[in-house]
Amino acid sequence: STPAILGVTTTTLNSPWQHQRRLWMVQENTLKAWYLAVDSVGGTANPLDLSGFARKGGMLVAGATWTIDAGDGVDDYWVAVTSEGEVIVYRGTDPSSANTWTMVGRWELGRPIGRRCFAKYGGDLLYIAEDGVWPLARALVSDRVDPRVALTDKITTAMNEAATIYGSNFGWQITFYPVAPFVLLNVPVTEGGGQQQYVMNTISKAWCKFTNMEANCWALLGDSLYFGGDQFIGLAWDD
């Protein structure tokens, strides 16, 4: 079957994520996030309009769940970022009730690069911005005052150059692969082919660069790391 989503034009929705058993989506060119009923993949969608809180305007780009204790639970934070780099954080389970949905705060960080700008990293979220890859917990405390907070601090020049030259290309994504273990930043030098990856060893914090893996996107299935290319799916880091 093809479940129908009612109440909004579905072709305007993108960047889906799951939070507290609800499916959330961003509506393009607006500051609205739409959500479905608990455990539903169809039905009537309801909006959460952030235009009254996003002081710089712009539009919503992406959202994520921030599991601050590294596990799913009622204390998880709901996070969304605008095109202007405003990060808005809520806590709760039911956005339709003020008794169960509370704003935690609003912070100003660098503008996001791409719609896949969030990735779960233990009890934190990684965030791709124009000025680096930031662990959200420390970035919100420092408010970008200390550039050493960024994971990409050791490759600042390479990161800044990539963001400036390739920032508008499709394919930016941050992925944590705990088996290796490393954090992989996909850099789309050319859309659809010619991508490269900046990779940080999470133990030594040293960086390197991968080439010849033309990845438009990355995903984990169990302990396996896959990437999607131009009409093919590849298995990475396989002996």
Say how far apart CA 113 and CA 105 lie, in whole Å: 22
Looking at per-residue pLDDT, the higher value among 81 and 237 belongs to 81
58-76 residues labelled b (16+ CB within 10 A) or e (exposed): bbbbbbbbbbbeeeeeeeb
Say how far apart CA 72 and CA 53 lie, in whole Å: 27
Say whether pLDDT at 145 is over 60. no
Say whether pLDDT at 225 is over 60. yes
Average pLDDT over residues 181-190: 96
Condensed to tens digits (0 to 9), the pLDDT of residues 33-73 reads: 999 999 999 999 999 999 999 999 999 999 999 987 555 55
Say whether pLDDT at 31 is over 60. yes
- 189: Cα within 13 Å, side-chain hemisphere: 13
In this prediction, residue 1 has a pLDDT band, given cuts at 50, 70 and 90, of confident
Beta-sheet strand order (sheet of 224-229): 217-221, 224-229, 232-236
What's the mean pLDDT when you consider all of the chain?
92
Condensed to tens digits (0 to 9), the pLDDT of residues 155-179 reads: 999 999 999 999 999 999 999 999 9
Condensed to tens digits (0 to 9), the pLDDT of residues 197-207 reads: 999 999 999 99
Nearest 5°: phi and psi at 46?
-120, 145
